[in-house]
C-alpha cells in the first residue's frame, strides 16, 4: 500500500526530469540513425525510453520512506547541541544520553524568569497530558543560566511546580559557558537595583531530541502545546 501511495504521488518535477532524459536520448539517437530519417522514426525508442525512465524513477520513489512533516524547525543532522554532562537537581552527574528511549525537550532558563520560563514549562506539562499513554516517553530537561541563585534545592522545588519527572541541571560558570557555546544559547545578566535583583536575558527556544538521543527539532517559543505534541507524536512513530 505504501508503494502504491508513492506511485500516485509522482510530482511535476519528476516528470520534467523525464523530459530532460528524453532530450538527451533523442539527440543520441539522431547521431546513429541514417541521415534523413523522419523524426517520427524516433517515436518508438523515445516512448520506450520514457517508460523505462518512468519505471526506474517510480521504483526509487516507492522505496523512499515518507519524511515526517514537522511544525517545528527540522534540524536533523545538525553538528551542534550534541550533549553534555552536568549535575542535576538531585546532585547526580548525568548526561543527555542517559535519557535515550524518551523524547527529550531541552530548555535553558532560570527560576526567577517572570514569563518565558514558566510559560514554556507549563506548555511542556500540557504536552505530556496531550500525549496520553505516551506521556511517560517525554522527558523535560531544564538547564539554568543563573547558577548563582538557582541552587539544586531551588531548582528541585521549582520543577515540582510543573512536573516532578522533569529534570533540572545546575552547571558551574565554566560549564555554562561551554554548554552555551556548544548549544548556541544566548544568555546575559541584566543588572538590577540591587546585586541580587538582576534578571537574565536568554534564548527562549527548545531543542527536541528523538528516542535515540539525536537532535531533531528547534521549537520556537510560543508555538503552543498542540504543535509540540504533534511533532513529538511523529518522533515516537
pLDDT digits (tens, 9 = 90+) for 33-92: 555 555 555 555 555 555 555 544 555 444 555 677 999 999 999 999 999 999 999 999
Residue 108 has pLDDT above 90, yes or no: yes
Domains, the chain: 2-63 (no CATH), 73-236 (3.40.30.10)
Mean pLDDT, residues 19-24 taken together: 57
Residue 163 has pLDDT above 90, yes or no: yes
- Quick one: pLDDT at residue 34? 54
- Quick one: pLDDT at residue 12? 47
| Sign, CA torsion 105/106/110/115 | negative
Quickly state the pLDDT bin for 196 (edges 50, 70, 90). confident
Q: Higher pLDDT residue, 8 or 64?
A: 64
Mean pLDDT of the chain: 84
Q: Are 45 and 25 in contact (CB under 8 A)?
A: yes
Q: Please report the DSSP string for 155-220 in residue order.
A: HHHHHHTT-TT-EEE---HHHHHHHHHHTT--EEEE--SSTT--EEEE---EEEE-TTS-EEEEEP
- Quick one: pLDDT at residue 9? 43
Residue 127 has pLDDT above 60, yes or no: yes
Amino acid at each position: 500500500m505504501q508503494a502504491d501511495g508513492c506511485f500516485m504521488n509522482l510530482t511535476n518535477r519528476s516528470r520534467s526530469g523525464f523530459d530532460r532524459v528524453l532530450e538527451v536520448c533523442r539527440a543520441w539517437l539522431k547521431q546513429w540513425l541514417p541521415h534523413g530519417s523522419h523524426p517520427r522514426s524516433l517515436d518508438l525508442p523515445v516512448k520506450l525510453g520514457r517508460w523505462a525512465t518512468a519505471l526506474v524513477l517510480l521504483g526509487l520513489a516507492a522505496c523512499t520512506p515518507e519524511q515526517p512533516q514537522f511544525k517545528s524547525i527540522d534540524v536533523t543532522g545538525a553538528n551542534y547541541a550534541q550533549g553534555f554532562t552536568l549535575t542535576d537537581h538531585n546532585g547526580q552527574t548525568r548526561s543527555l544520553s542517559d535519557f535515550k528511549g524518551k523524547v527529550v525537550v531541552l530548555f535553558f532558563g532560570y527560576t526567577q524568569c517572570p514569563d518565558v520560563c514558566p510559560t514554556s514549562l507549563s506548555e511542556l506539562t500540557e504536552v505530556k497530558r496531550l500525549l496520553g499513554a505516551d506521556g511517560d516517553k517525554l522527558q523535560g530537561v531544564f538547564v539554568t543560566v543563573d547558577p548563582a541563585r538557582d541552587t539544586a534545592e531551588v531548582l528541585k522545588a521549582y520543577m515540582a511546580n510543573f512536573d516532578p519527572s522533569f529534570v533540572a541541571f545546575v552547571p558551574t560558570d565554566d560549564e555554562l559557558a561551554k554548554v552555551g557555546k556548544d548549544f548556541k544559547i544566548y544568555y546575559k545578566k541584566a543588572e538590577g537595583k540591587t546585586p541580587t535583583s538582576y534578571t537574565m536575558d536568554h534564548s527562549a527556544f527548545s531543542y527536541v531530541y528523538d528516542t535515540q538521543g539525536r537532535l531533531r527539532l528547534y521549537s520556537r517559543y510560543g508555538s503552543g502545546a498542540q504543535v509540540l505534541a504533534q511533532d513529538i507524536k511523529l518522533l515516537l512513530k
